[in-house]
Amino acid sequence: MIRLSVNVNKIAVLRNSRGGSEPDIGKAATACLRAGAHGITVHPRPDQRHIRPDDVHAIKALLPPQAEFNIEGNGFAPARGAYPGLLALVAAARPTQVTLVPDGDEQLTSDHGFDLAADADRLRPLLAQLKQYASRVSLFIDAGVRDVERAAEAGADRVEIYTGPFAQAFAAGDAGRELELCTRVAERARASGLGVNAGHDLNLANLGALKLAVPFLAEVSIGHALVGEALYHGLEATVKDYLRILNA
């Protein structure tokens, strides 16, 4: 079974655009879980443009024991102001999973994975630290990355395939090459003992094709598209639509 983790960052963007506490991130997370989602993903950034450290703690407190909690972030970004750093957040929240992403403030959203040939050695001690506080650690990678096996050698439990290029190609009507890249890297990752997640720009239109190509995916993390689709159909109904695709 492919598990669905709903990223609630966009709910925080809406809240922060106006100030105050609406829309309520906790209520949104609860609605997703009530509809059948297997977990909740957050991606706190040092600039606190959406999810803030207090949101991380609040969501952790409301999650039932069976729900997974995935915290994404750049483990090399230093503490800044009210942002204590990813390691401190993970130590306090003890999530099910940490997904390391090489992003910076200048990026509107995550748009590339780690270069494992260049980054594996410096990732190794960070992975060891994080695994003291989290059940598993995943690395964000490009579908065309070389040496995906180095993720396992560095101590990762899983990789998350960056599916943005696949989604763009799918929307343009020619996803064959990108889908093949996703399939190849997923198979190599699995052969090296890694679990395989996927995320970024997945939606109701393209998720089925990815699932058929990589049926052994462990988890998909979906936020931006799901929240957008929920504006038309409702949050719980949209989560159920995604689950129908994953369970077909």
| Residues identified as active-site | 43, 72, 200
Whether residue 149 contacts residue 129, with contact meaning beta carbons closer than 8 Å, is answered with: no
Whether residue 194 contacts residue 156, with contact meaning beta carbons closer than 8 Å, is answered with: yes
Largest CA distance in the chain: 48
Collapsing DSSP states into helix, strand and coil, what is residue 132?
A: coil
Q: How many CB atoms lie within 10 A of CB 212?
A: 11
Question: What distance in Å separates the CA atoms of residue 144 and residue 35, rounded to the nearest whole number?
Answer: 34
Q: How many CB atoms lie within 10 A of CB 149?
A: 16
Count, residues in the chain: 248
State both tokens at 17.
């655009």
State both tokens at 112.
């590339």
Q: Facing residues of 158 across strands? A: 138, 195
Tokens 């669905």, residue located:
4
Q: How many CB atoms lie within 10 A of CB 213?
A: 15
| Cα separation values, 225 from 38, 77, 144, 229, Å | 17, 27, 23, 6
Question: What distance in Å separates the CA atoms of residue 243 and residue 237, rounded to the nearest whole number?
Answer: 10
